[in-house]
A and B are shown apart, each in its own frame.
Chain A
Amino acid sequence: MNFYPIFWKEMLLIRKKPWRFLASSMVMPVLYFVTFGWGLGRGMNVGGGRYLDFVLPGILALSAMNNSFGPVSTSLNISKLYTKTIEEVLVSPVSHWDIALGRTLTGLARGLFSALTLLVVGFASGVHLHLSFSFLAVLGLTAFCFGAAGVAAAMVARSHEDMANFNSFFIVPMSFLAGTFFSPDRMPEPFKSLILVYPLTHASLVLRALAAGSGPSLSSVLVLTAYSLFFFYLAGMMVKKAA
């Protein structure tokens, strides 16, 4: 195991430009929160509760996804296609699993960090949310899952356009459909079943249940875990293919 140097370097780069990092990880989630929470959702109720309380866990999941997948895939893609810095790692005694893990953990750290800052904003504006260790663990798992997906996507992409397409066809639809802003139950079939294919849907469902203080559905936890393992496996194999 020699994944740490890879994680270490990415963290060093973040420490060099902390403000850029903060801004880039905060803009989207705060915009969503302001638009859908305060703007659209003020005074709105969902299933007997406030929409603001309903929507925050979803936006936290979204934020963990975006700030993991986006930076991980972009940075790896640039490293592979343009700066070629990945070749330094590929000629060093570091395995493909180490590379995948080092990069995925970067996503975990970034996704979790942005979700936590948003959580602070949420609490400051009076959102009711039952915070527990499980809640944070699931946020971490969500960030890990999409960090691994980001590694796999970047290794598959043969160009910047490929990367943009992953975003347009995979990430953006998921952002809007995967139970972030509404409950999947409200959707008619077959959309409802389709939405349940998205890993983000299960992250939102689990987080929402935990935030309300109730036990999450075991199947959603399992689906999210299975996706995480699958994406990580894919990430390792795609790195191996490139080496």
Chain B
Amino acid sequence: MITTSNLTKYFGALGAVQSVSFSVGKGEVFGLLGPNGAGKTTTIRMLTTLLAPSSGSASVGGYDVIADPLGVKRSIGVVPQTLNLDIDLTCAENLEYHGRLQRMKREDRTSRIEELLHFVGLREKKDMPVEHLSGGMRRRLLIARGLMHRPAVVFMDEPTVGLDPQARRMIWGLVESLKRNGITILITTHYIEEADALCDRVAIMRTGKIIALDRPVELKKSVGQFAVECLGRYDVPRQFFPARAEAIEAGRDLCTDVVVRDVTLEDVFISLTGERIEG
């Protein structure tokens, strides 16, 4: 459903996205994981026709993003990183507007608005101006808007950024139920657990490049199953081991307050780059 081949975007001399290639199958949840500035949003903006690539190519739903932007626009739903709702309009009016932009029939718009407000838990807020909604509610409405016209491919750019853990879990639940309905999703995040919990496959990005791409399990396996870390000692680097016993053994000699735990995607990022993702 999504294919990119050496997709590249330069802003002046800055290579925001450099030779990025991946493909996402139908019904797959594909994650772009990386720190701020890695090039995730720029990649999404090229795939959703908002930015022209400097070089390389990409297609979405079988349509080329450069040659057939209108075809792409017909196939996609977009949940942007910026909350670009109209705050003077109510929840229902924001969805109504989107339905009109997408040429949906009147009866379909009306029933779809009910359905989606229920889906994202905003039924009671239907006629409330967006101005009065909390950040988490706005995010949910933004997701509802991106789904309004039942797109086959949905792009979500950091859909949980800045939300409290409870609101974040609620959005994870929404993504999971979309996946059950066979919708193809490209999601970006800089939260490790999010990529791990939601994505079938994850591409780890750093400074415009994909540095690893695989299923989360495989990515973690490539580092080792168990991580050993010294509490409060950031000068001692983490170590990774394939077996727990080995890890515990090594931990004993390392320092006094030691933790042995399962490897995370953050460990993968650290072992590849020597840096942390969240900062």
A interface residues (Cβ-Cβ under 8 A, vs B): 2, 4-6, 8-9, 12-13, 16-17, 83-85, 87-95, 243
Beta-carbon nearest neighbor of B142 in chain A: A88
Collect the chain A residues with CB atoms within 8 Å of residue B97's CB. 5, 8-9, 12
A12-B89, A87-B50, A243-B49 known; A92 vs B82 contact (CB < 8 Å)? no
Beta-carbon nearest neighbor of A79 in chain B: B84
Any chain A CB within 8 A of the CB of B160? no
Collect the chain B residues with CB atoms within 8 Å of residue A93's CB. 70, 73-74, 101-103
Any chain A CB within 8 A of the CB of B116? no
Sample 21 A-B pairs with CB under 8 A, ordered by A number.
Answer: A4-B100, A5-B97, A5-B101, A8-B97, A12-B93, A12-B97, A13-B88, A13-B89, A16-B89, A17-B88, A85-B86, A87-B82, A87-B84, A88-B84, A88-B98, A88-B145, A90-B49, A91-B50, A91-B78, A243-B49, A243-B50
Q: Which of A9, A84, A94 has the most CB of B within 10 A?
A: A9
Picked from A4, A16, A85, the residue with its CB within 8 Å of the CB of B84 is: A85
A145 CA / B78 CA spacing, docked (Å): 34
A91-B48, A92-B101, A93-B74 known; A84 vs B80 contact (CB < 8 Å)? yes
Q: What interface size band does chain B fall in? A: 20 to 34
Q: How far is the CB of A97 from chain B (nearest CB, A)?
A: 12
B interface residues (Cβ-Cβ under 8 A, vs A): 48-50, 69-70, 73-74, 76, 78, 80, 82, 84-89, 93, 97-98, 100-103, 145
A89 CA / B87 CA spacing, docked (Å): 16
**Which 10 residue pairs spanning A and B have beta carbons closest together?**
A5-B100, A84-B84, A92-B101, A93-B73, A91-B78, A84-B82, A5-B101, A93-B74, A85-B84, A91-B48
Inter-chain pairs besides A12-B89, A91-B50, A93-B73, 18 sampled, C-beta below 8 Å: A4-B100, A5-B100, A5-B101, A6-B101, A12-B93, A13-B86, A13-B89, A84-B82, A85-B86, A88-B78, A88-B84, A88-B98, A89-B101, A90-B49, A93-B102, A93-B103, A94-B101, A243-B49
In contact, A91 and B49 (Cβ under 8 angstroms): yes
Picked from B73, B84, B101, B103, the residue with its CB within 8 Å of the CB of A83 is: B84
Collect the chain A residues with CB atoms within 8 Å of residue B93's CB. 12
Beta-carbon nearest neighbor of A9 in chain B: B97
A88 CA / B80 CA spacing, docked (Å): 9
A88 CA / B260 CA spacing, docked (Å): 47
A13-B88, A16-B88, A87-B50 known; A2 vs B101 contact (CB < 8 Å)? yes
Beta-carbon nearest neighbor of B97 in chain A: A9
A9 CA / B87 CA spacing, docked (Å): 12
A2 CA / B85 CA spacing, docked (Å): 20
Q: How far is the CB of A212 from chain B (nearest CB, A)?
A: 43
In contact, A92 and B73 (Cβ under 8 angstroms): yes
In contact, B76 and A91 (Cβ under 8 angstroms): yes
Beta-carbon nearest neighbor of A95 in chain B: B70
A16-B88, A93-B70 known; A87 vs B102 contact (CB < 8 Å)? no
Q: How far is the CB of B180 from chain A (nearest CB, A)?
A: 25
Q: How far is the CB of A3 from chain B (nearest CB, A)?
A: 10
Beta-carbon nearest neighbor of A85 in chain B: B84
A13 CA / B131 CA spacing, docked (Å): 14
Q: How far is the CB of A178 from chain B (nearest CB, A)?
A: 34
Beta-carbon nearest neighbor of A16 in chain B: B88
Beta-carbon nearest neighbor of A2 in chain B: B103
